[in-house]
Structure 1
Amino acid sequence: MIKIYDRKTKNYEEEQVAGLNYLKWCYESPVGKSLTELFIKRKLFSKVYGYYCDSPLSKKKVNEFIDEFNIDINLAVKKQSEFTSFNDFFCRKLTSEARPTDMNKDALVSPGDGRLFVYENIDLDNIVQVKGLTYSLKELISDDAVANEYDGGTCILLRLCPTDYHRFHFIDYGTCGETKKIDGSYYSVNPIALEKVPKLFCQNKREWSLFKSENFGDILHIEVGATCVGTIIQSYTPNKKVEKGAEKGYFKFGGSTTILFLKKGVAKVHNDIIDQTKLGFETKVTMGETIGIKL
């Protein structure tokens, strides 16, 4: 059971996990762990399933998924009957009213919907993946010079599960550079997998870029792929100025993660999120929601 903190109700709720039994089998059973290492974590598995989710054959899954996980489809731009495939539904756009963004220049907002861990005053060589497991930012992006700029800074880790809105956004006005891509495996990013696979983020396929923001300095954006996420789409135009809340990109099917690194002394994340992180609980947030302030 995965518990997450709802900051609106100030209560904990149980996460609805798509494919829970499959995840437990893959990462907890001897046979499942062997098959995950031999095949499931590999690009071919996610690519084949990705082709299926892009095809009209997968359209029949849309209604079942909406019903099972109680998705509010009224927030989407398209009507339920208009989706042409499961991926068309999965990476759906929302109406402009669905995710209002706090446009105050001092407001630090969430880049997307999901479950949030935030770590302050980070040690570059021991960034927390989950309790007891850490990874290195230098290893994550394979660029020591850039990584060193974020020593003592803040790590904002947003996990998107399959039931979430799967587009990610810029948290400020500014300009984003070219995306750098690093090949890797396709482990799940669900907590069940994060607790079993050391340095999982450093092993998975990932992409990163530097966003020169107007109010929060240079922000390091990292997108991490996962099982069945055969594609990370970067929809922004490099080196072109963007507005706060503008779309940066989206993930195709599967749970995924976007990680932001802010330099030391730039912002302060709200205490409720920090406190829940220390307790080991992710905080549920939506895109554009205020999560902190500029210092």
Structure 2
Amino acid sequence: MNTMVSPNAPIEFYNRYSGEREIESIYGEGFLRWAYGNPLGRLTVSLAVKRLWFSRWYGWRMDRPSSQSKVAPFISEYGLDSEEFAEPVERFKTFNEFFYRKLKGHARPVDPDPQGAVFPADGRHLAIADIDRAETFYIKGQRFDLQAFVGDSALAQKYAGGSMLISRLCPVDYHRFHFPVAGLAGEARELPGSLRSVSPLALRRRLSILWENRRVLTEVESEAFGPVLVLEIGATCVGGIHQTYAPGMVTKGMEKGYFSFGGSCVTTIFPKGAIRFDADLLEFGAQGLEVYARMGERCGILGD
């Protein structure tokens, strides 16, 4: 993917582990392309799919005992490593139990450098070094509205000119999210909204989905980076954004919560000059290209 990418182009990303650019295998690709690339599909999204009842209904389906039959085929089709799972596959009684599974403690080691921040989730990560000056968000020409995103003009001013990491989770990913930094975590605050897809297939056409969707915002006061904002964003078929932490002191890599079924993303915002993202994130982020990496790995270090 580059700055002149077509909205209908395949989703390309850089894989940190293979060192190669790869094409994403999209769960429900046919529906997504119809829903966001076809006029009738976009009307359907507007009338039904973005509505909360649709995602709650689909989440209810994934909580039914009959959904258990989807687990083994899903693991096989997408090549998931069940050896990482904290529980044996046969113990998942529904697809949702499998979807928000926990992993063994050693499966996601956390970078120990106190001056480093880590990815808050497994997924494809888009780094924006300066929110105010960025010209590329998945496709050239789209501007990010920080005030609308955080829902507060004073908070937006506090993070003006800051750096942002958008961590996009696909249905095939581990769906628990974690704190990217250590510090004093405040209360989680919900910002209401609709539930559209956060796939680039949708965001290339309408970046405002990021601040129109339901969001949950938490501010963490960290010793190294100062205040850091963490926002979970709901999406189509996400039955819920669940917080498992208690406000207070948290450690880097500590579990913050989990998503019920569906694609989703976590966004981390640092104040101006607080972080220097790793070189691969800066290189590919400048091209509007995501980088695949896992929770706990370093994404950047304290800014100069």
Normalised by the size of structure 2, how large is the TM-score? 0.93
Which residue identity lines up with residue 273 of structure 1 in the other structure?
Answer: L
Does structure 1 residue 58 correspond to structure 2 residue 67? yes
Name 2:297's counterpart in structure 1: 289
Which residue identity lines up with residue 263 of structure 2 in the other structure?
Answer: G
Give the distance between the partners of 1:141 and 1:71, measured in 2 at CA: 34
Name 1:275's counterpart in structure 2: 283
Number of equivalent positions: 294
Which residue identity lines up with residue 261 of structure 2 in the other structure?
Answer: F
Name 2:166's counterpart in structure 1: 157
- DSSP 3-state at the match of 2:286: helix
Name 2:156's counterpart in structure 1: 147
Alignment of 1:154-193 (within 5 A): 154-193=163-202
Task: Give the conservation status (yes or no) of the 8 Å contact 2:128–2:134.
Answer: no
- DSSP 3-state at the match of 2:143: strand
With over 3 angstroms needed to count, the CA separation of the structure-2 counterparts of 1:209 and 1:25, relative to structure 1, is same
Which residue identity lines up with residue 183 of structure 1 in the other structure?
Answer: P
- DSSP 3-state at the match of 2:224: coil
Task: Give the conservation status (yes or no) of the 8 Å contact 2:118–2:252.
Answer: no
From 242, 253, 261, give the equivalent of 1:253.
Answer: 261
- DSSP 3-state at the match of 2:80: coil
Percent identity reads 39
From 69, 74, 97, give the equivalent of 1:88.
Answer: 97
Give the distance between the partners of 1:127 and 1:186, measured in 2 at CA: 23
Q: Alpha-carbon deviation of 1:197?
A: 2.1
From 20, 27, 41, give the equivalent of 1:18.
Answer: 27
Name 2:6's counterpart in structure 1: none
Which residue identity lines up with residue 141 of structure 1 in the other structure?
Answer: V
Deviations 1:108-167 (A, max 9, x none): 211110101111122189884643222311111211111111111111111111111111
Give the distance between the partners of 1:146 and 1:196, measured in 2 at CA: 27
Normalised by the size of structure 1, how large is the TM-score? 0.96
Does structure 1 residue 109 correspond to structure 2 residue 118? yes
Give the distance between the partners of 2:37 and 2:172, measured in 1 at CA: 23
Give the distance between the partners of 2:295 and 2:88, measured in 1 at CA: 21
Which residue identity lines up with residue 209 of structure 1 in the other structure?
Answer: T
Which residue identity lines up with residue 270 of structure 1 in the other structure?
Answer: D
With over 3 angstroms needed to count, the CA separation of the structure-2 counterparts of 1:129 and 1:122, relative to structure 1, is same
Q: Alpha-carbon deviation of 1:198?
A: 4.1
Does structure 1 residue 36 correspond to structure 2 residue 37? no
Give the distance between the partners of 1:275 and 1:175, measured in 2 at CA: 31
Which residue identity lines up with residue 134 of structure 1 in the other structure?
Answer: R
Which residue identity lines up with residue 116 of structure 2 in the other structure?
Answer: A
With over 3 angstroms needed to count, the CA separation of the structure-2 counterparts of 1:127 and 1:5, relative to structure 1, is closer
Name 2:240's counterpart in structure 1: 231
Deviations 1:158-193 (A, max 9, x none): 111111111111122212111111111111001101
With over 3 angstroms needed to count, the CA separation of the structure-2 counterparts of 1:282 and 1:127, relative to structure 1, is closer
Unaligned runs of 5+ in 2: 1-9
- DSSP 3-state at the match of 2:113: coil
Q: Alpha-carbon deviation of 1:64?
A: 1.4
Unaligned runs of 5+ in 1: none
Give the distance between the partners of 1:251 and 1:77, measured in 2 at CA: 17
With over 3 angstroms needed to count, the CA separation of the structure-2 counterparts of 1:59 and 1:247, relative to structure 1, is same
Give the distance between the partners of 1:64 and 1:77, measured in 2 at CA: 19
Which residue identity lines up with residue 260 of structure 1 in the other structure?
Answer: T
Name 2:214's counterpart in structure 1: 205
Name 2:107's counterpart in structure 1: 98
> Structure 1 segments of 4 or more deviating over 4 A?
124-127
Give the distance between the partners of 2:22 and 2:116, measured in 1 at CA: 27
